[in-house]
Amino acid sequence: MDSTIVLTEVDSVVIAERDVARKRDRREFVEAAWELLGDEANWTPPMISEELDQIDPARNPFLAGGHVRLFMAMRGRRVVGRIAYLEGPYLVAGFEQGVGCFGYFACRPDAEAAAALLESVTTYARSRGRSRLLGPFSPTLYDYPGILEEGFDARATLLTSFNPPWYRDFFAAAAFVRCKELLAFEIAVSEELPEGLLRAEQLARRSGIEIRHPDFRSFSGELKRFFEVHWGAINANWGEVEFTDGQREYLAQHMRPLLRKELVAFAYYKDQPVGIALAIPDGVEALKTLNGRLGPIRAPLAMYRLSRTDSARLPLIGVLPEHRRRGIDGALIADLWREGYRRGIRRCDISWVLADNHRMVNTIKRIGAAPRRRWWIYSKTLQETARQGD
């Protein structure tokens, strides 16, 4: 039975739905990215198997109990765009009641197709009784968030999004407005630490702070400590929701191949963890080698390139509120800086950071990092309507 449901047609652009419960339909939606973005040098192809699981509420605990609809824009047999509607307890818990989310937006420079996609997801959100539409998240705030608007000449780093410049015009034309600004900073990693980090280390030591690395032989215990500090540090941030045990295990399973104990740092005060920082080797070149699929030749070559990368991403720094202003964030970065340099890291991407998180932005700027890329989360207020059935 054909799962395509034609919803609307605009100037020969057909918007069709794909059934997220059917693997064949999920695969068509996921693999459309190669057709839409494959010619972009700075786009990083994801692993198809992981994308198939991530977009499936039955397999991804971050979408558990959620609702997903997939839309594709076609001109004849050619896909020219895609978008997903995303709704679920975890996704919307960090925002006001009535929010629906969207993600996985990709489109050729085709204004008609983009308008039809955005109208389709907006109409669907209204049918779900949503009062505001927010995104893109693919599928969560931690996965490829935002529309890139500056830094198109910079390559994407792991789990950060890339899109061509014309996307911002599509959202403006569809009456979406900018909601939250995200930044990526870049810095060269040298043997000599920036003066700001050295001063932070000195302050942290005087405050009784000790930097330690985890013991992966007791991985579950270290993971529990890490997430406890993580939530304590970020729970007041925009959009954040505490992870469930299942979500923590899911993250650990997917991230463990990239974790290096030397690049995970805890700050301890009186033998209690009060801060954390995490850096991961940048797996972009490995992912480009794999091009979405494992294989007997590609897999060993990808692992070799990952082991030889000179680039890292620093996605997470967190300090408990009552222990801030003691130089802890700088001391954590300093520790990872030294360890990264020993491992051959010569460049670091610090992302993403909320532009209105002034404390963290100022900390990063003080070590000499400069903004390299900029994304925006977009929002659209919807007219309230009565909720309809699925």
Q: Kindly report, residue by residue over 314-368, the tens digit of the pLDDT.
A: 999 999 999 999 999 999 999 999 999 999 999 999 999 999 999 999 999 988 9
User: Has residue 7 got a pLDDT over 60?
Assistant: no
119-128, 148-157, 177-186, 249-258: least confident range: 249-258
231 token code pair: 């939530």
* 352 and 310 Cβ atoms separated by less than 8 Å: no
Count the Cβ atoms, other than its own, within 10 Å of residue 9: 12
| pTM for this model (two decimals) | 0.91
According to the model, what pLDDT value does residue 127 have? 95
Distances (CA, A) of 89 to 7, 64, 97, 250: 27, 8, 11, 17
271 token code pair: 């033998």
CATH superfamily of domain region 190-345: Gcn5-related N-acetyltransferase (GNAT) (3.40.630.30)
Domain range summary for the chain, segments of one domain joined by +: 5-182+377-381, 190-345
According to the model, what pLDDT value does residue 187 have? 95
User: Has residue 387 got a pLDDT over 50?
Assistant: no
pLDDT, tens digit, for every residue of 76-113?
A: 999 999 999 999 999 989 998 899 999 999 999 999 99
CATH 3.40.630.30 for the 5-182+377-381 domain, yes or no: yes
Distance CA 185, CA 364 (A): 8
pLDDT, tens digit, for every residue of 190-241?
A: 999 999 999 999 999 999 999 999 999 888 899 999 999 999 999 999 999 9
Mean pLDDT, residues 149-160: 92
pLDDT band of 165, cuts 50, 70, 90: very high
On the question of a common fold for 5-182+377-381 and 190-345, the answer reads: yes
Distance CA 61, CA 345 (A): 33
Mean pLDDT, residues 159-163: 94
**% the chain with pLDDT above 70:** 95
Distance CA 263, CA 267 (A): 13
Distances (CA, A) of 3 to 17, 19, 30, 281, 289: 8, 6, 16, 40, 33
Distance CA 115, CA 122 (A): 10
pLDDT band of 1, cuts 50, 70, 90: very low
Type of residue numbered 85: Y
Mean pLDDT, residues 41-46: 94
User: Has residue 123 got a pLDDT over 70?
Assistant: yes
According to the model, what pLDDT value does residue 79 have? 96
pLDDT, tens digit, for every residue of 268-324?
A: 999 999 999 999 999 898 999 999 998 878 888 888 888 889 999 999 999 999 999
pLDDT band of 385, cuts 50, 70, 90: very low
